Amino acid sequence: MKSLSSEEKSHLQDDTRMVLAGRNTAETFGFVNVPPFRGSTVVYPDAAACLAHRNRYTYGRKGNPTMDALESAWSELEGAAGTVICPSGASACTTALLSCLKAGDHLLMVDSVYRPTRNFCDNILKRYGVETTYYDPHLAGGIEALIKPNTRAIFMESPGSQTFEVQDVPAIVAVAKKHDITTLIDNTWATALLFRPLDFGVDLSINAATKYPSGHSDVLIGLVAANAKALPGLKAMHGDLGVYLGPDDIFLTLRGLRSMPLRMREQGANALAIAAHLEKSPHVVRVMHPALPSSPGHALFKRDFKGASGLFAFVLKASTDKQVEAFLNHLTLFGMGYSWGGFESLAVPFDATPYRTATEFKPGGRAVRLNIGLESPIDLIADLDGALAAMAKVPA
């Protein structure tokens, strides 16, 4: 198989790119996949090489061919100068934040952020002298009013993974650039297949690859892709923290990448059909899905995203635990679990009202988040309709 130049690769469609990325059969004796390279110790060919740390690989934590394959595949997809691998999506968020903040700095954090990222700011960053201000996800260029002389980073998550607000990334990046502030985004929902943060000027793009890239609910992994400006700081922090993920999980993620475009296309189309169906149900207050024209973020979504993934939420016409339980317990095809992005459908109840500080979440009923997997949407819709009918029989 001929290896392609960067120029040739730049013309490829994403489906093709994800089949080829990170593979070099000349280096794997013709075998299609890079195997999991296990190892801490790397031996040097001679004393001079050892004294100069001159080896392609120097120590297990610092790199091996399996890591290289995923890092280069992900950088290619993101259009990044480089990528680091973390042992979870949460660790990718914290490593990225630590790479651009120090004591005395101020961080602007979106109010709709994934809760453990919020906890990291409130617990760890605070303890180490970094102040966090939460901002309304609908704030676009208006974020400038929140900037202080010591604001060093703006963190976005778009759409929010529970409440699905879409952020005006270009407007926020324009303000950040004016003030020389680093921008970070948790891009787990879209992945770079549907939204390429670095093309929009974002410095650090974070993905909980536990979700779509690995795709099979059997791996925890996080990836941070950086532009040339942010990469040295990211690599230094990643190395100094001693962050490392074992080769089996990296191998499984590489395997997942090959089918990620196909899976996401199918899951995205099925989720949108199911969201549109739920929107018409008399037992549903509203559906939070940015690809629905009724969504407040729809115009921004249409402007910036190439498509939607398979995660969205909706609000049940329900006010008691008994009603929510009737709905969830009646589902037969949806598991109840706190993750998403895998091949199997999931439903989880959630309440974002207690922890928002810059904005109020007023669902008007009881909220449920759905991960749409690879089952037939016909079966999933029948399952949801049956559960909604069961819920409607329970008195409020």
Ligand X SMILES: Cc1ncc(COP(=O)(O)O)c(C=O)c1O
Give the residue numbers marked as catalytic.
Answer: 61, 114, 186, 211
User: What is the β-pairing status of strands 222-226 and 82-86?
Assistant: antiparallel
Smallest distance from ligand X to CB 53, Å = 32
For residue 347, give the 3-state DSSP assignment: strand
Cis status, amide bond into 159, omega within 30 of 0? yes
- Quote the Cα angle for 203-209-212, to 5°: 115
The site string for ligand X over 2-41 (x = CB under 6 A, - otherwise) reads ----------------------------------------
Among 222, 233, 268, 377, binds ligand X (CB under 6 A): 222
DSSP states along 79-141 = T-SEEEEESSHHHHHHHHHHHT--TT-EEEEETTS-HHHHHIIIIIIHHTT-EEEEE-TT-SG
Nearest to 184 by CA among 76, 96, 89, 77: 96
Smallest distance from ligand X to CB 113, Å = 8
Smallest distance from ligand X to CB 338, Å = 7
Q: Annotate 79-114 with b (16+ C-beta within 10 A) or e (fewer).
A: ebbbbbbbbbbbbbbbbbbbbbbeeebbbbbbbbbb
Smallest distance from ligand X to CB 233, Å = 21
Q: Does 119 bind ligand X (CB under 6 A)?
A: no
Q: Does 254 bind ligand X (CB under 6 A)?
A: no
Q: Does 163 bind ligand X (CB under 6 A)?
A: no
Q: Does 220 bind ligand X (CB under 6 A)?
A: yes
Nearest to 67 by CA among 50, 87, 89: 87
Smallest distance from ligand X to CB 264, Å = 15
Roughly what angle, to the nearest 10 degrees, separates helices 247-279 and 65-78?
Answer: 30
Nearer to ligand X, 76 or 186 (CB): 186
Q: Count the neighbouring beta carbons within 10 Å of the beta carbon of residue 322.
A: 13
Q: Does 339 bind ligand X (CB under 6 A)?
A: yes
Give residue number: closest CB to ligand X. Answer: 89
Q: Does 137 bind ligand X (CB under 6 A)?
A: no
Q: Does 188 bind ligand X (CB under 6 A)?
A: yes
Q: Does 309 bind ligand X (CB under 6 A)?
A: no
Q: Does 114 bind ligand X (CB under 6 A)?
A: yes
Nearer to ligand X, 24 or 339 (CB): 339
Chain centre to alpha carbon of residue 101: 21
Quick one: tokens of 19? 């089949």
Smallest distance from ligand X to CB 13, Å = 26
Nearest to 267 by CA among 157, 341, 161, 216: 341
CB 72 within 8 A of CB 21: yes
152 φ, ψ (degrees, to nearest 5): -115, -15
Quote the CA–CA distance of 205 and 185 in Å, as a whole number: 5
Nearer to ligand X, 122 or 385 (CB): 122
- Quote the Cα angle for 193-111-365, to 5°: 95
Nearer to ligand X, 172 or 208 (CB): 208
Among 66, 210, 267, 270, binds ligand X (CB under 6 A): 210
Among 99, 161, 214, 227, binds ligand X (CB under 6 A): 161
How many residues in the shown chain lie near ligand X by CB under 6 A? 14
Q: Report the site for ligand X in 53-92 (rule: CB under 6 A).
A: 88-90
Nearer to ligand X, 105 or 186 (CB): 186
Smallest distance from ligand X to CB 238, Å = 16
User: Would you tell me which residues interact with ligand X (CB under 6 A)?
Assistant: 88-90, 93, 114, 157, 161, 186, 188, 208, 210, 220, 222, 339
